[in-house]
Amino acid sequence: MKTVLITGANKSIGFETAKQLLGVGYYVYLGCRDLAKGEQAVKQLQSMGLNQVEPIVIDVDNIASIRAARGQIKALDVLINNAGISGGMPQSSTETEINVFRDVFETNFFGVVEVTQAFIDLLKQSAAPRIVNVTSGLGSLTCQSDPDYVHYQVKPVTYVTSKAAMNAYTIVLAYELRDTAFKVNAVDPCYTATDFNNHSGPGTVQDAAARVVKAAVLGPDGATGQFFSDDNAPETGISPW
C-alpha cells in the first residue's frame, strides 16, 4: 500500500484530497496543526468506510513539529505540500507590513522547503516517489505580467510572491531529481470555493482535489518539473511559470 502525507489536510481541499487518495488505495497521513481537528477529520473519513488514515500533527511553521512528524512516519511514497495561508486582504506592495510577508512566506515557502527536506530521505526509499506542491495560478509571473490574464487585477502581494517563490523551488527541486524516479510538480487547484477565499471561487473542492491527486498518482511516464493549472492554461493544463 502506497503512503501519502498531506499537510493542512483536516479541511477543505486537503481533506478532499485525502478522501480521494483513500478511495484509490493509499494510506493517508492526515497532516494537521491541531490534533483534535485532525482526529475529527479522521473520524469523518472512517464514517465513510475509509479507514487507512491517521492524523499526524505537523505545523509547517515549526521545525520541531516537522521533525516530530518525521519521527512518526517510517515509509512515504507521496508528499503533498498543501498547507498555506493568504495573508488577508487587501495587500499593497508598499503598505503591507513586513511581518505579514514573513508570516506568509513562513507557511507558503519556508514550510514547504523544511517539510520537503525533512521527508526527502523517506521518499528516496520509495520506488515511485512523488512531490506535489500546491500552488496558485496567481503565482505565475508570466500571467501576472499579462494584462489579458483573467486574474490580472488580483495581486495580493504576499500571497503572489510566496507562491512564485515556491514555484521556483519546485523547478530547482525537480531539476536536481531529474535522473531519479521522482516526479516533482506544482499544482494549481484553481479558483475554488473554500474558507480560504470566503467561498467566492466558482470551483468545487472535489475538482480541485482531483487535480492534486492526478499529480500525486502519476505513473513512470508522467511529467516532472511542471506547473499544472487548468485556470491559466485550459487547453493544455500546463501553465507558464
List the catalytic residues.
159, 163
What's the distance, CA 159 to chain centroid?
14
In terms of Cβ atoms closer than 10 Å to its own Cβ (0-12, 13-18, 19+), residue 64 is exposed
Q: Are 241 and 171 in contact (CB under 8 A)?
A: yes
Residue carrying C-alpha cell 473554500: 194
For the chain, how big is the Rg over CA atoms in Å?
A: 17
The amino acid present at 139, given as its one-letter code, is G
Please state whether the peptide bond connecting residue 90 to the residue before it is cis, i.e. omega within 30 degrees of 0: yes
